[in-house]
Amino acid sequence: MPIREEVRGRTLIVHLDREDKRNAINVEMALGISAALDRLDDDDTLWAGVITGTPKVFCAGTDLKDGAGARTDRGGEYGIIRRQRIKPLIAAVEGPCMGGGLEIALACDLIVASTAARMALPETRRGLVATSGALFRVTRALPPNIARQLLITGAGLTAQRAYDLGLVNVVSEPGQALADAQLLAEDINASGPVAVRATLAALNEQYAAADATGWEATGRAQEKILASDDMREGINAFFEKRPPEWKAR
């Protein structure tokens, strides 16, 4: 299975386990993520969650070949992006965290990243736009000019740079992101679970109106892209492993 679940104490760990595809999200993975996070929210014995990839890669985003429709009713894109979560969730990042992979991390409450991690939003390099929350979430997590640079160039962030800018909570040695994320989860679990959930709910409520506006703006951007020749060229160039020839239309 491309998604594995593991319980450590009161923490549910969700493993993305499709390394041969760089953990790119297809429909099967989205369903697995959604089921795991349903379990996290619905099981009273679980108080926190961690989502992680493999030791070499966190997630490369949408599987451009098999990822169409990779969303669920309760979780939205990837089974996580639009989820109204009840309990805290930590992203533990090793290796590439690209495009939709970074959007998964942005949908979590906290991020732990090893020095082997690299984060980027390369959608415009393929003639696309970020459609899973980055157009508004990354501007909250990072200074506006840094966020803008990530969204319209091929720039990326190391874990240390992301930490310095306030995106990452803990920087780990290579191979230690999951262990450090579990320690962070245990630290959360030492607090009253009702108080933690009420705090997160209050924080999320304050962004509800802005989120609605963000999704509307994202939808309009996506409509423009779907009607463009550049999108088709970008995707074709990706599969053909060549530089795209943009037409600006």
Catalytic residue among 6, 28, 94, 103: 103
Q: How far apart are CA 206 and CA 219, in angstroms?
A: 22
- Among residues 28, 94, 123, 173, the one annotated as catalytic is 123
Record the tokens describing residue 144, joined without a space: 């506006």
H, E, C per residue of the chain: CCEEEEEECCEEEEEECCHHHCCCECHHHHHHHHHHHHHHHHCCCCCEEEEECCCCCCECCECCCCCCCCEECCCEECCCCCCCCCCCEEEEECCEEECHHHHHHHCCCEEEEECCCEEECCHHHHCCCCCCCHHHHHHHHCCHHHHHHHHHCCCEEEHHHHHHCCCCCEEECCCCHHHHHHHHHHHHHCCCHHHHHHHHHHHHHCCHHHHHHHHHHHHHHHHHHHCCHHHHHHHHHHHHCCCCCCCCC
**Among this protein's residues, is 103 annotated catalytic?**
yes
Could you tell me how many residues make up the chain?
249
Query: What's the rounded Cα separation, in Å, for the pair 129 and 201?
Result: 29
Q: How many CB atoms lie within 10 A of CB 4?
A: 13
Q: How far is CA 164 from the centre of its chain?
A: 19
| Catalytic residue status for 240 | no
Could you list the active site residues?
103, 123
